[in-house]
Amino acid sequence: MVGISEVVADTFTIFSVPRIWKGKPDVEQRNAVGSWLRLRPRPEIILFGDDEGTGSAAEEYGCCWVSGLPCNEHGTPFIDSVFHLAQEWATRDLMAFVNADIILMQGWADALMACALKFEQFCMVGQRQDIDLYQPMPFQEGWQAQLEGWARTYGTYFTPAGSDYFGFRRGLYPEVPPFLIGRSAWDNWLMAYPPTAGVPLVDATPAACIVHPETRTSKVSEWVRHQPHVDEERRYNKELMAGIYGLSAGRVTDAQWQVTAAGEVNER
């Protein structure tokens, strides 16, 4: 078992692939990154991609920026390159991929540390809370308690067929199939793989309230709904997943372990 002093000393790395930093995505991503920077221990953050504003945002927030991701003909990045490069660039062994519009609170970081204390290797996943949040967050004193109370009262859980974060130690994903990011099924593969490698899949939903700043009326997000190539890319991902584990595999509810609201890591 890893000692608490070692875990805290190493902190952890968050890596993500933002969209263009304009309009609504700009507000969402600034709220998200702002919340990550307020976690304790403070994480290293790596932002990937060449969408407009990513480099300047990385400089503004003191993050590492990695450009030049391999993409398909429509400019959609492949997730295998993201995980490969993140595990090369990160200066921490404890890592987490987080979608770029997800607001994290301290309960999430505490759950990650609890998993790191419990397991040599693991994959921590969880469901998000969808809420209507369209304004820049001031991050005033008490913001986490206020936001969590609002989310748990008025938010709705997204389906357990998806996870917006994956916490693990470097080396868990030596190879990832060439899924297109944000186009269905890639997150299911990331959840389905660890148990096949003998690695615990841990559901942190009870302990980690995470917020997605939009109430969904469908499983396809607003920013991709009107792009004509999205359906083609989703079919590509689903066919890739179906050929490996099948489309019913890889859900938060598959986890055999859970981080409780009290922060304990227990078998279900």
pLDDT in tens, 154-201: 999 999 999 999 999 999 999 999 999 989 999 999 999 999 999 999
Q: With beta carbons less than 8 A apart as the criterion, state whether 256 and 203 touch.
A: no
DSSP 103: B
Residue 140's pLDDT band (boundaries 50, 70, 90)? very high
Nearest to 113 by CA among 47, 173, 43: 43
Whole-number Å distance between alpha carbons of 106 and 73? 39
Fold of 4-261: Spore Coat Polysaccharide Biosynthesis Protein SpsA; Chain A (3.90.550)
- Going from N- to C-terminal start, the domains of the chain cover 4-261
Mean residue pLDDT of the chain comes to 92
Residue 125's pLDDT band (boundaries 50, 70, 90)? very high
Q: Is 110 helix (H, G, I), strand (E, B) or coil?
A: helix
Whole-number Å distance between alpha carbons of 268 and 252? 12
Q: Is the pTM of this model over 0.75?
A: yes
